Amino acid sequence: MILRDLAAKLTRVTVAGSLDQELSAVTDDSRKAGAGILFVAVRGEVVDGHDYIDKALEAGSTVIVAEHAQPRNFSTDVTWLHVPDSRYVLAVFASAFNGDAWKDMAVAGVTGTNGKTTTAFLVHHLMKSQWHRAGLLGTVTVDDGETEVAATSTTPGSLELQNLLGRMRDHGCRGVSMEVSSHGIDQQRIASLGFDAAIFTNLTQDHLDYHGTMERYFEAKKSWFDKLADNPLGKKPVAVINVDDAHGLEIAESLEGKLPVYRFGFGVHTDFRANNLKQSARGMEFELTAKGKSFLVRAPLIGRFNVYNLLGAIAAASACGIRPRESVAAIAEAPQVPGRMENIGHAGGATVFVDYAHTPDALENACRTLRELNPRRLITVFGCGGDRDRAKRPLMGAAAAQGSDICIITSDNPRSEEPMAIIQEIEKGMGGATYKVIADREEAISSVIKAARAGDIVLIAGKGHETYQQFADRTIDFDDRKHAWKALRERSETAERP
Ligand SMILES: CC(=O)N[C@H]1[C@@H](OP(=O)(O)OP(=O)(O)OC[C@H]2O[C@@H](n3ccc(=O)[nH]c3=O)[C@H](O)[C@@H]2O)O[C@H](CO)[C@@H](O)[C@@H]1O[C@H](C)C(=O)N[C@@H](C)C(=O)N[C@H](CCC(=O)O)C(=O)O
Ligand SMILES: Nc1ncnc2c1ncn2[C@@H]1O[C@H](COP(=O)(O)OP(=O)(O)OP(=O)(O)O)[C@@H](O)[C@H]1O
Ligand SMILES: N[C@H](CCC[C@H](N)C(=O)O)C(=O)O
Ligand SMILES: [Mg+2]
């Protein structure tokens, strides 16, 4: 690409040097810089990319984008673009180098505290059922239309994200379903990406370590919708909003007259509404009223919260051109989302579920859902992540204590923290509940499954699909599902892999 064409995409830029340069790629990492590669200096959370400009020049880059002007007496061979926000510029250029691939696909994005992964999986399933090829990216997996690999972040940085979208388009994907994290919005990872459907699931406490307050966390989420309203990038996005959630309702109201909105929920003032929910251990059914028509939805998912995920997915698919009738038919075959209310098996009459609940609200919902299956006792094994939102620890303790008959507090990625120090913070929320501390997660899982009686349900919460446990000095392989299968097998041969 010619630098002049790239620079023309920016409205606020001061250029020093020649724009007549041919470029083959863009990077924000000096270690990947080189001749013909444009280097964007990004102020990071850990280090400042501006400190690596010299390294990029040494490597052979001759075009620099930075948030300050070119220093005096700088080499005249270098072209310097002074911009107010280099993360934004990185996103714009990353998209340009991939021919704005998102313009060629129907793009659905999901944000919210809980339900993003589940909803994104459902939308992906609906897109694939209609179009055969569709991309998926989020916390668990990245599917570029040809191959599927484990994900490393919920919403990748703009460069990786736009390259991935380029691959999806090249592989013939007609649509892409993706998670949009608050970090992703805040750090401009999705700037310069047009959406056809922008879904909001809910907002409850999490990530206060990063955002500081719930207000700022909400503002980050809301800013995505505000930006889409101001600059839809040539697409016609539909905001798909859970209006049973107070924050969702606020967003929906603020968008009136600015963006088309599909409201969903159980309430009457909705475009996609659920009614008459019936649940069993294997799945659910409910009546869907969508744009004046009624359908019976049968889905192999459990939990009232999953009704919201299903409504959001069906509404978003509709915004992408898939009719509710077609979605309802496909939903009956929805896949198991790894580690989301996953039924691991049973032995001696006790059943085990693994679920990714790692926020107070998710834990409350997970316990309520399993309680509705009328277990003799609900036994919950959980912990809280280290180096993450500390304020949620006692709240998760309270949610588990109130929702279960017995709790086992254990470790969940202690990271640099002392496992027992995290557990003590959780204990502050336990009130008078019956609980036991078993800091070793493997021991917690095996001893609970061994001790469970006929009719009990064991919920192992917090890690879901994760395959590791992170400590200060090491990361070990760890999969709740494998440990649960092992304990079930040891207890009896009746345990089945689902
Ligand atoms: C704290 C945080 O959010 N960090 C993210 C951020 O990193 P950063 O840009 O601040 O990186 P940095 O290390 O300070 O480096 C700054 C700049 O210097 C450059 N550099 C650095 C070293 C060098 O030698 N040369 C050089 O040029 C870097 O390439 C970078 O451009 O931007 C990167 C690219 O977008 C992210 O990969 C990275 O995520 C880290 C790995 C992370 O753990 N993030 C978590 C908190 C996160 O984002 N989670 C969310 C939500 C999860 C959920 O709820 O599901 C997610 O979306 O995954
Ligand atoms: N719509 C929902 N409302 C409330 N809780 C939910 C909802 N959907 C799922 N959950 C609960 O939250 C957990 C996480 O769900 P999911 O992975 O779909 O969310 P997420 O938003 O992608 O989370 P993360 O940000 O950590 O990736 C589930 O295991 C379940 O316990
Ligand atoms: N996306 C979430 C994942 C938390 C999962 C839990 N197992 C933990 O490690 O805290 C986060 O980064 O807060
Ligand atoms: Mg997720």
Q: What pLDDT sits at residue 282?
A: 85
Nearest to 91 by CA among 139, 30, 33, 163: 163
CA of 361 to the centre of ligand 2 (A): 9
Measured by CA distance, the residue closest to atom 29 of ligand 2 is 356
Q: What pLDDT sits at residue 110?
A: 98
Distance separating alpha carbons of residues 269 and 277, to the nearest angstrom: 18
Q: Which residues' Cβ are closer than 6 Å to ligand 2? A: 112, 114-118, 139, 154, 179, 201-202, 305, 308-309, 340, 355-357, 361-362, 365-366, 464
CA of 358 to the centre of ligand 3 (A): 7
Q: What pLDDT sits at residue 106?
A: 98
> 162 CB under 6 A from ligand 1?
no
100-331 sits in which CATH class? alpha beta
Query: Token pair for residue 430?
Result: 């336990």
342-496 sits in which CATH class? alpha beta
Measured by CA distance, the residue closest to atom 3 of ligand 3 is 358
Amino acid at 398: A
Distance separating alpha carbons of residues 1 and 130, to the nearest angstrom: 35
Give me the numbers of helices (H) and strands (E) for the chain, helices first please.
Answer: 16, 24
Q: What pLDDT sits at residue 469?
A: 98
Query: Token pair for residue 253?
Result: 């109201």
Q: What pLDDT sits at residue 493?
A: 57
Cα angle 206, 208, 212 (rounded to 5 degrees) comes to: 150
Q: What pLDDT sits at residue 155?
A: 98
Query: Token pair for residue 52?
Result: 């690596």
Token match 């714009």: residue? 92
- Which of the 8 DSSP states describes residue 32? G
Distance separating alpha carbons of residues 84 and 71, to the nearest angstrom: 16
Q: What pLDDT sits at residue 229?
A: 96
Answer whether 251's CB lies under 8 Å from 239's CB: yes
Q: What pLDDT sits at residue 445?
A: 98
List, in order, residues 6 or more apart from 202 with CB less than 8 Å away: 112, 113, 114, 115, 242, 245, 247, 248, 308, 361
CA atoms within 13 A on the CB side of 34: 4
CA of 153 to the centre of ligand 1 (A): 10
Distance separating alpha carbons of residues 449 and 378, to the nearest angstrom: 12
Q: Is 117 annotated as a binding residue?
A: yes
Q: Is 155 annotated as a binding residue?
A: yes
**CA distances in angstroms from 337 to 117, 218, 241, 436, listed in the order given:** 8, 26, 22, 30
Regions of the chain short of the pLDDT cut 70:
493-498
Measured by CA distance, the residue closest to atom 11 of ligand 2 is 362
CA of 317 to the centre of ligand 2 (A): 19
Domain map (residue ranges) of the chain: 3-96, 100-331, 342-496
- Which of the 8 DSSP states describes residue 197? E
Return the H-helix or E-strand segment holding 395: helix 392-403
Q: What pLDDT sits at residue 266?
A: 97
* Closest atom of ligand 2 relative to the 181 alpha carbon: 25
Residues in the chain: 498
3-96, what's its fold?
3.40.1390
Note the pTM of the prediction, 2 decimals.
0.94
